[in-house]
Amino acid sequence: MRRIVGFFALLGAVAAGPAWAGTGGPSSTSHGTPSEAAVRAYVANYASGAYALTPSFARQTGLACSACHTHYPELTAMGRAFKLNGYVFRRGSDSITARSASGDQNLLLNLVTPLSFMLQTSYTVLRKAEPGTQNGVAFFPDQLSLFTGGEVTPHLGGFLQVTFDPQSGQLGIDNADFRYATHLSLLGKTSTFGISLNNNPTVQDVWNSTPAWGFPYGSSAAAPAPAAATMIDGTLGGQVAGLTAYTMWGSHLYLEGGAYRAAPLGATRPLDSTATGVLAGVAPYWRVALPTTVGGKYLSLGAYGMSSRMYPAGVTGPTNRFTDVAADLSFLWPMGENSFTTEATYIHESQRWDAGGSANLKNTLKTFRFDMMYHVGHMYAFTAAPFFTSGSTDTLLYAPAPLSGSRIGSPNSSGFIGEVDVMPWQNLRFQLQYVGYSKFNGASSNYDGTGRNASDNNTLYFLTWVLF
């Protein structure tokens, strides 16, 4: 399926609970509802600087979306802690339990089936229609997803998204993250240790500054997109299986490492000469982050990366190597009922094309983007988000072609996204987004060699999200 971050909506809005206004955590008062008291205890034990509720998770925890999201899927401190600790948190009275003859617990089930649904509808208008096509594209649905997830055992939980893509007409696995987590004391600090089994590098991350859960959270599948993207920036999503181990030491150091292996959907197994564009061997992945809270403001500075080798065709012979190194930032500034958040990432990719497909043996590709979002309570959000991609000129890799090609063989693209979101209910969103390009595939004018300008791809996108 085409990578659209908006596939990955995380929301909880079907159960009562505290509605924190995008702060780093819950109120410090000593009174409140039983759910609020439970959350305070959870945060005190597990969240200390870390914080994903779909309706599935909301049914499990009894908490509203706003407990874990400032603006879904953007996470609060509670949301990061919930994910970090294996999606484990439930109301004890809403579970079926059993014990063995020796008294050990061996069953823990929700009384309510942990299922939820997401429906997106959309309308897209380009400044200039693609050649030979009708402008004004309506999708109903734009995306249709089924979610399930939550606690399986006291230390094991997960998240699974299955999505219907209206363009391909197919139903398939979208995002998956299953993890085991526990807590130990290390060098005098209470620390979280865990293992994640997932299908997309960075989908397991608890910050919205990495690619899988980064802004834009919803974008048009009908609009042209720049030709170049780094390998870690969604290219491998749904095509790999990965196992990573992580720790949050105290509340100020996060470390993660692991590896990914080819697991493409719809391909013959074992992989053979019919495979195309699959991972060779294993691809190591690493992550480090330094979160802190100063004066009520939350800041996390981090880095992440991976090294992958790809077979262009088959599973033997030479490979092309891609080495990604990235830095990221996540910031939250509570302002009473309102809040300001920003996320940023810079990705540098070194490419070596030993298996061909490029005019150059070595190339580089760089991406930088950041978003600035102002939240008015939980009903409105206003976002400005510049983006930049640049890299080596390569007349074979970025060859001229109508609409999608580059007249000068360049991957350079830049522009901005402006977005307004209105959420009259926590599980209903109306999104109006404008994407403007100053450069597209290397040029501002006649970028594809057939007379199309970068600004011709400027996009107005209206999206409706419903989750239940």
* Residue 325, domain extent: 5-10+106-467
More confident residue, 334 or 56: 334
What is the amino acid identity at position 417? I
Q: With bands split at pLDDT 50, 70 and 90, how would you rate the model's confidence at 282?
A: very high
Q: Indicate whether 87 belongs to any domain.
A: no
pLDDT at 267 (0 to 100): 85
Q: Indicate whether 24 belongs to any domain.
A: no
Whether 61 has a pLDDT exceeding 90, the answer reads: no
Whole-number Å distance between alpha carbons of 399 and 449:
10
pLDDT at 103 (0 to 100): 73
pLDDT at 18 (0 to 100): 31
Whether 8 has a pLDDT exceeding 50, the answer reads: no
Contacting residues for 221 by C-beta, under 8 A, at least 6 apart: 2, 4, 139, 142, 167
pLDDT at 311 (0 to 100): 96
**What pLDDT digit, counting tens, does each position of 20-30 carry?**
333 333 333 33
pLDDT at 299 (0 to 100): 95
Most confident of 47-61, 84-98, 110-124, 227-241: 227-241
Q: Indicate whether 419 belongs to any domain.
A: yes
Whole-number Å distance between alpha carbons of 82 and 389:
33
Whether 186 has a pLDDT exceeding 70, the answer reads: yes
More confident residue, 222 or 266: 222
Q: With bands split at pLDDT 50, 70 and 90, how would you rate the model's confidence at 331?
A: very high
pLDDT at 467 (0 to 100): 85
Q: How many domains does the chain have?
A: 1
Whether 107 has a pLDDT exceeding 70, the answer reads: no
The dihedral over CA atoms of 222, 225, 231, 232, expressed in degrees to the nearest 10, equals: -70
Residues 78, 48 contacting (CB under 8 angstroms): no
pLDDT at 56 (0 to 100): 53
Task: Give percent of the chain with pLDDT exceeding 70.
Answer: 81
Residues 194, 245 contacting (CB under 8 angstroms): yes
Q: Indicate whether 70 belongs to any domain.
A: no
Average pLDDT, the chain: 84
- SS3 for 36-70 is HHHHHHHHHHHHCCCCCCCHHHHHHHCCCHHHCEE
pLDDT at 2 (0 to 100): 37
Whole-number Å distance between alpha carbons of 391 and 364:
5
Q: Indicate whether 202 belongs to any domain.
A: yes
Q: Indicate whether 53 belongs to any domain.
A: no
Closest CA to 19 of 73, 68, 88: 68
List the structure tokens of 64: 């509203």
Q: Indicate whether 34 belongs to any domain.
A: no
Whole-number Å distance between alpha carbons of 65 and 61:
11
**Within 10 A of 281 (CB to CB), how many other CB atoms are there?**
13
Backbone torsion region of residue 242, taken as left when φ is above 0, otherwise alpha when ψ lies between -120 and 50, otherwise beta: beta
CATH number at residue 386: 2.40.160.10
Task: Find the range with the poorest average confidence among 84-93, 131-140, 208-217, 399-408.
Answer: 84-93
Whether 272 has a pLDDT exceeding 80, the answer reads: yes
SS3 456: helix
pLDDT at 164 (0 to 100): 87
**What pLDDT digit, counting tens, does each position of 346-379 carry?**
999 999 999 999 999 999 999 999 999 999 988 9
Whole-number Å distance between alpha carbons of 190 and 222:
48
Q: What is the pTM of this model?
A: 0.84
What is the amino acid identity at position 38? A
Q: What is the rounded average pLDDT of the residues 401-422?
A: 96
**What pLDDT digit, counting tens, does each position of 413-428 carry?**
999 999 999 999 888 9
More confident residue, 346 or 275: 346
Q: Indicate whether 461 belongs to any domain.
A: yes
pLDDT at 168 (0 to 100): 80
The dihedral over CA atoms of 418, 68, 164, 215, expressed in degrees to the nearest 10, equals: 30
Contacting residues for 449 by C-beta, under 8 A, at least 6 apart: 400, 401, 405, 407
Q: What letter would DSSP give residue 86?
A: T
Task: Find the range with the poorest average confidence among 59-73, 122-136, 207-221, 246-260.
Answer: 59-73
Q: With bands split at pLDDT 50, 70 and 90, how would you rate the model's confidence at 62?
A: low
For 215-240, letters b (16+ CB in 10 Å) and e give bbbbbbbbbbbbbbbbbbbbbbbbbb
